[in-house]
Structure 1
Amino acid sequence: MTAPDQNRPTTLSDGVVDWLTNGTRDERFIDNIFAEMCIRLQQAGIPLKRSTMHVRIQHPQWLGAAFMWLDGMREAKISRVDFDVLERSEFIGSPVSEMLDGASELRENLEGDPSLGRRHAVYDEMRAKGLTDYVAWPLHHTLGKRHLVTFATDRPGGFDDAHLVALKNLLPVLALVSEIRIKNRLARTLLETYVGSHAGELILAGATRRGTGTTVRAAIMICDLRDFTKISDNWPRDDVIDLLNDYFDAMSEPIARHGGEILKFIGDGLLAIFPLSEPGACANLLRAVTEARRAMAALNERNNGTGRAPLNYGIGVHVGDVMYGNIGSSSRLDFTVIGPAVNMASRLEALTKQLGRPVLLSRAFAELVEREFELEHVGKYEVRGFSDAIELFAFHG
C-alpha cells in the first residue's frame, strides 16, 4: 500500500475526501452519499450548483442509472436509463457519450459564444439556467469499467484552478465508494432477478448452507404452456424467445403485483408461491390468475393479428406446507420449495389438459376462497402419486 504523500498541498476537498473514506461506512445507498458529498463540497467553499453521476448497471430492464443533484436538494434525483438510449439524440454527442468513447476530461465554458462550443441540448439547458462552467471526468472501476461524474457552477468566470484541483482530488475515493455500493446493489438485483426478492434477501442474510431451510405454509401455483415442443420445433428461434418472454410477462407481472413470489422458470413453466403469512394470500393468488388470464387473452389477440396460433396453458393450485430452502450439490445450490404440496400442484396442472379446464384448484385451496370467488365443482379424480382421489374445482376468473 502506498504511503500518503506528505508533500501534497491541501485542497478545499480534503475534508470531503476524509468523510468519503471514513464517514460513509454505514450508508448503503450511493445516491445518499452523492447528495451529501455535493453539500459538503459547497460548505468547503466550492461554488457547486449542479452535479451528476452516470453509472452502467447489470439489470434486465435498464442499461444504467443517472443521479442528479442541484443546489438546495437534500437528496439526489435518480433516473433509470433504457437500453435503447444509445440510439437517442439525448445520448449521441452528449458528455456521457464522449466519456464512454474514451475522453479523459471534458470542460465547457458556458459563458462564451454558444456557437463556438460543443453542440448538445444538455449544454443549452445549463446555459439557460445560468450555469457558467462545466467539467466531467471518468470514474474508473475495476476491470476497465468506466462511469462518469460531472460538476457545474454559476460562478462568474467558472471554476478556478483551486476548485478544479479539489474536485479532481475526490475522484479516486469516489470511484471506490461508488463501486462498492453499485456492486452491493448489483448483487441484490441479480438475486432478485434470478431467485426472487424474498429468497434473495435470505441468501444475502447468509442462508447459503446446503440442506438448510424452513417450513412455510403457502398457496402454490404451477403454470405450464401447452404444445411448446411443437411451437419450438416449427417457429424461428427468435420468435420462440419473444413468445416465451411475452407469455412470462403476462403471467409474472400479476403474480408480483399481488404479493406472490416466482421461485423459478422451468422451460415454459413457472412455480410461484403466496405465503399464508401474508393476509389474503389465497385470494391474491386468484386475483393474479384473473389478471394473468386477461393478459394472455390480450396477447393471443395480438398474436392472431400476425397469424400466430393462440397460446394455451394450464394452472394448478394447491395449498400446504413446503420446505423452503437450499437444495443441490456441494457446489451448486437451488433455492426452492419442495414437498407433497408442490407435487400436488404439479399434478393438478397436468390434469388441466385432460379435463379441459385451464385452472384447477384442490379442495384444500378452494375451501379458503369459496366465499369470495365463484368456483365450479369438477369432481373427484385420481392423482398420480397420491393414494386417495382428490376433489377438484375449476376457476374461470
Structure 2
Amino acid sequence: MDASEINAITDWLIDGARSAPMPSQMMAQACERMVAAGLPLWRVGVFIRTLHPEIFGRNFIWRQGAPEVEVGTVDFEIQETPEFKRSPLSLVFNRGLEVRGNPDNLADVERFPFLLDLRQEGATDYVAMPLRFLDDTVHAMTLTTKQPGGFSDAQVAALRALTKPLTRITEIITLRRTATTLLDTYVGNRAGERIMGGQIRRGHTDTMQAVIWLSDLRGFTALSDRLPAETVVEILNHYFDCQVASIRAHGGEVLKFMGDGLLAVFPIDEYIGDANHVCARVLEAARESRCSVDALAFPIGEAIERFRFGVALHVGNILYGNIGGGNRLDFTCIGPAVNLAARLEKIAGRMGRTVVASEGFVRACGADWNELGEFPIAGFSTAQRVYGLADEAPVVMA
C-alpha cells in the first residue's frame, strides 16, 4: 500500500475531485485511485439518504472491471423489509456503527445472511462504514474485497482515513442535489434550474410564449364542506396525480397548486416555431387527464365518490419569474394570457365542459372543436370566442 498515493487521493477529494464533475464519475475515479494505491477493493457501495417525497435513498455501486458505476434508488418501504433489518446497513444508519463481516465465518453469516451471497461470489471481507454529515445524519459506505484473508488492519485504517474527505465531498454533492430536488418538487424543474442558476432577485423575469393550462375540481367547495379535511387532502392528492403525470410526460411544467386549482405551462420554442406540435401534445395531456379523473373512484364509507374537472387551454406570451415582497418570492407566471385562461376555466364550469380552449389555441391545435360562443371577459376590450371539444357533450352539475 502506497502512503503517498493515499495522501494524493485525500488531496484530490479535498480539492473537490475536479476531474470528475458527476457523482458516478467521482466514485469511479476514487475507487480506481484507491485500487492503484494498493487497496484491494472488489466492490464499493455508497448509500445516501435523500430529502425526496418518494425516494428514501440513492445507491452507487462500483465493481472492479465493470464499465460504469451502477446508480439506483430505494423507496421508504425498504426500512421495513426483513432484508434491511438484518443487514449491516441497518446498524450503520440507525446507530452510526462501523460493521465488519467475514463471509467465511458462520456466526457472521447467521447474523447477516447476505454475506452468504458475497461468499458465493468469492468475497473474503466486508466493512460498512458510517458517513456522518455535518447535520449529524448518517449515510453509509460498504467496502468488499476478494483478497485472501480479507483486509489487513493497515488497509482498514487507510479506508477509515479516506472516508473523512470522501464524506465531505459527498455531503456537498448531496446538498446540491437536495436543493435541486426541493426546487423541482416545490416550484418545478425549469423554475428550479433558473433559481439554482442565480435568478433569485425580485423582478428577474423573462417573457416566453407558452400554452397555459388552468384546471380545477368541480364541486370542490361542497366536497370540502361535507368531508373531513384529511379525506379532502387525500382526494386532492389522487386528483392531482391524474393530471401531473400527463402534464410532465407531454412537456409541461406544473407551477402551482391553488386549493383544487392547478396552473401549468408548456413552453413554445420561438426559434423552432413548434406551437402546433406543443398544442397537440397539450390536448393529448388534457384527454389523458380527463380519462384518469373519470376513472378515479374514491370510497367514502359504503359509497363511491366520483369526480369531474375542467381545464382551460390558451396560448400566448407570459411573464415568467420572481414576484413577491421583501425576501419572500414566488416563481410564477403572470400576464393577460394567464388572466384569459383563468376566465375561460370559469366559463368551462358554467357550461359543464371538461376541456375548453381559446381561439388562439384552437387555431394552433387543429383538432375538432365546436364554437361555444363569444363571451365578454373582464379586463378585455372585446368578447372572446370560446371552443369546446366536438367529442364532448356538456354535463349539468347537480
Q: TM class by shorter-chain length?
A: over 0.9
Distance 1:26 1:194, change over 3 A: farther
Tell me the distance in 2 between the aligned counterparts of 1:178 and 1:171: 10
TM-score by length of 2: 0.92
> Contact 2:188 / 2:254 at 8 angstroms: preserved in 1?
yes
DSSP-derived class of the 2:10 partner: helix
Question: Aligned equivalents of 2:191 and 2:24: distance in 1?
Answer: 25
Counting only pairs closer than 5 Å after superposition, residues 330-369 of structure 1 correspond to structure 2 as 330-369=326-365
Residues 1:260 and 2:252 are matched in the alignment: yes
Structure 1 equivalent of residue 385 of structure 2: 391
Structure 1 equivalent of residue 50 of structure 2: 57
Deviation, 1:345, is 0.3
| 2:165 is the alignment partner of 1:138 | no
Higher deviation after alignment, 374-383 or 175-184: 374-383
- Which of these residues, 305, 310, 315, is aligned with residue 309 of structure 1? 305
Residues 375 and 394, structure 1, Cα contact 8 Å, conserved in 2: yes
Offset at residue 27 of structure 1 (A): 3.8
> 1:35: Cα distance to partner?
1.7
Residue identity opposite 1:379 in structure 2:
G
Q: Look up the match of 2:41.
A: 48
1:50-76 C-alpha deviation (Å, 9 max, x unpaired): 111111110111011111111112422
Following superposition, the deviation at residue 119 of structure 1 comes to 2.9
Alignment of 1:231-242 (within 5 A): 231-242=223-234
8 Å contact kept, 2:45–2:62: yes
Alignment counterpart, residue 83 of structure 1, candidates 76, 85, 97: 76
Match of 2:237 in 1: 245
Q: Where does residue 104 of structure 1 map in the other structure?
A: 97
Q: How does 1:125-164 map to 2 (within 5 A)?
A: 125-164=117-156
> Relative to structure 1, is the Cα distance of residues 23 and 344 closer, same or farther in structure 2, using a 3 angstrom cutoff?
closer
Q: Distance in 2 between matches of 1:101 and 1:261?
A: 37
Unaligned 5+ runs, structure 2: 393-398
- Count of residue pairs the alignment pairs up: 385
Q: Which residue of 2 aligns with 1:179?
A: 171
Pairing partner for 1:328 from 309, 317, 324: 324
Q: 2:370 aligns with which of 367, 372, 376?
A: 376
Distance 1:332 1:394 in 2: 39
CA contact (8 A) 1:211 1:325 kept: yes
How much has 1:22 moved relative to structure 2? 2.4
> Counterparts of 2:213 and 2:229 in 1: how far apart (Å)?
28
1:297 and 2:289 are equivalent in the alignment: no
Which amino acid letter does the alignment assign opposite residue 362 of structure 1?
S
Aligned residue number for residue 4 of structure 1: none
Let me know the Cα RMSD of the aligned residues. 1.9
Deviation at 1:130, TM superposition (A): 0.8
Task: Give the residue type in structure 2 aligned to 1:343.
Answer: N
Match of 1:5 in 2: none
Contact 2:294–2:308 at 8 Å: present in 1 too?
A: no
Give the structure-1-normalised TM-score: 0.92
Give CA-to-partner distance per residue, 1:78-137, whole Å, 9 cap, x none.
11110111111221121111112214211111123x345443342121111110100111
Would the aligned equivalents of 2:16 and 2:169 in 1 still touch at CA under 8 Å?
Answer: no
Determine if the alignment matches structure 1 residue 286 to structure 2 residue 283.
yes
The share of aligned pairs that are identical, in percent, is 39
Distance 1:137 1:151 in 2: 8
Tell me, what secondary structure is at the counterpart of 2:92? helix
Q: Deviations over 1:231-285 (max 9, x none)?
A: 2222233322221111111111100000011111111111111112173111111
What is the distance in 1 between the residues matched to 2:72 and 2:134? 24
Q: Structure 1: which 4+ aligned runs deviate by more than 6 Å?
A: none
